[in-house]
Amino acid sequence: MISSPHNEKLKLIRKLQARKHRERSGLFAAEGEDLVEAAERAGAAVEFVLVAGQDVEPELLDAVSELGSGTRVIGVYRQSWSPPGGDLSVYLEGVRDPGNVGTIFRTVHALADGPLVLGPGCADPYSPRAVRASMGSVFARPPARAALAELEAFKLALDGSAGAVLGEVDLRTPLVLCLGGEREGLPADVIAGADAAARIPMRSDAPDSLNVASAAAVGLYEVANRMADRA
Amino acid sequence: MISSPHNEKLKLIRKLQARKHRERSGLFAAEGEDLVEAAERAGAAVEFVLVAGQDVEPELLDAVSELGSGTRVIGVYRQSWSPPGGDLSVYLEGVRDPGNVGTIFRTVHALADGPLVLGPGCADPYSPRAVRASMGSVFARPPARAALAELEAFKLALDGSAGAVLGEVDLRTPLVLCLGGEREGLPADVIAGADAAARIPMRSDAPDSLNVASAAAVGLYEVANRMADRA
């Protein structure tokens, strides 16, 4: 039973709260029974798992937790990366909110067969908030890293100013759905580099945009449905 | 220029971080220029607005901020409530995460003509996180409060275990799309009280569910599209 706050495993968990340390070590931490079970189911590469009251004094685990008191388990895992691919996947650029990135993991896992591909300017998919929001999908379907130009697929940009609406735009398979950050949307060069652009139809008094995770869900739903209809 | 931390306006802003004080006073606070501008555009009932460096010492505004340092403006507003209604609206029950409630405000504002209706067990729509996630839609389209049985509309429950898929289920207008909390989903009595239930089709290896805000976006998109096709 770990009883010292200077224990190396506890110090590692605390360090992994910083992106720099996650990138340097290639490791990340996941808190809570649901995530640790999701990691087991997915056969994730585990470094160690600490269970409060069994492997470590509960107060010491709480002290290195992101979520605060009452943490029952924290696991440390090796980051895994997928190659881009699949008939349907998502590419993000400039999506800085880790909660949105994590939510999109979950939606990609539910509705697409390819990975979530992270382009420049995105939140770290292995940050605590992204891992938590993924509800374990980060283990089941690890992210990919690539620039848009590297993707060998039909690139459909979701863009609020596009002329075509999502339900009517031409599709090709394999397809990668491209979304940008909340405020800026997709950079002009990404839209120019896409094979098609489409918007989600909104009411005339609507806000400027949907939340990016909500827009990704709508886009994946529509494209997956249309692909299934044609199959 | 307010220069005392004991100023009544500052004390009120701090108090409004607690749900109890929001409910007792019928007021809430919104931080940041984007939200204060959205309130102005919507003609929200403003109590006061404090601008850092103009109305109040910047450090004092930071000290009562939810977001921390660098807050430029905080407004205090009277809560507004809509009656249920519209051809298309959303009913939530047991959605406890204020970020999800706020995100759904924005989606309802973009895709529906009716309000977001909050049933039992939901996060306070006027909590700081919900207001922020709404990106101002809480001002443009204030929430409603009601029990499901009070709603005079065709009730379509989104339920992962439903037999019918969303794209094929029968619809009637006016329609209220019903969603439940992330873990529990909709209570059995809500599903039993609905006029129809449908699921979003997911892959065979999919997670148990989508994020509730993502599911709401998919549901509203599909129903709004089908209503538009029939109109």
Q: Which are the contacts of B223, defined by CB distance < 8 A and separation ≥ 6?
A: B88, B156, B171, B175, B177
Coil, strand or helix: which one is A166?
Answer: coil
List, as one string, the DSSP characters of B73-94.
EEEEEE---PPS-SSEEEEEES
Note the ipTM here: 0.95
- CA B231/CA B216 separation, integer angstroms: 22
Q: Which are the contacts of B207, defined by CB distance < 8 A and separation ≥ 6?
A: A106, A109, A110, A135, A136, A137, A140
User: What is the spatial order of strands in the sheet that A154-158 belongs to?
Assistant: A144-145, A116-118, A88-93, A175-180, A154-158, A196-198
- Determine if the peptide bond prior to A125 is cis (ω within 30°): no
Instruction: Please tell me the pTM assigned to this model.
Output: 0.96
Which domains occur in chain B, in start order? 8-78 (3.30.1330.30), 88-230 (3.40.1280.10)
Q: Which are the contacts of A158, defined by CB distance < 8 A and separation ≥ 6?
A: A166, A177, A178, A179, A186, A197, A198, A199, A200, A215, A216, A219
**Cβ–Cβ below 8 Å for B106 and A201:** no
The tens place of each residue's pLDDT in chain A, 231 residues long, gives: 999 999 999 999 999 999 999 999 999 999 999 999 999 999 999 999 999 999 999 999 999 998 877 889 999 999 999 999 999 999 999 999 999 999 999 999 999 999 999 999 999 999 999 999 999 999 999 999 999 999 999 999 999 999 999 999 999 999 999 999 877 889 998 899 999 999 999 999 998 899 999 999 999 999 999 999 876
Closest Cβ–Cβ partner in A110, A167, A228 for B225: A167
**Cβ–Cβ below 8 Å for B110 and A213:** no
- CA B200/CA B194 separation, integer angstroms: 17
Q: Which are the contacts of A63, defined by CB distance < 8 A and separation ≥ 6?
A: A5, A10
Q: How far is A9 from chain B, CA to nearest CA, in Å?
A: 30
Q: Which are the contacts of B215, defined by CB distance < 8 A and separation ≥ 6?
A: A217, B158, B179, B200, B209
- Residue type for B207, please? P
**Cβ–Cβ below 8 Å for A107 and B211:** yes
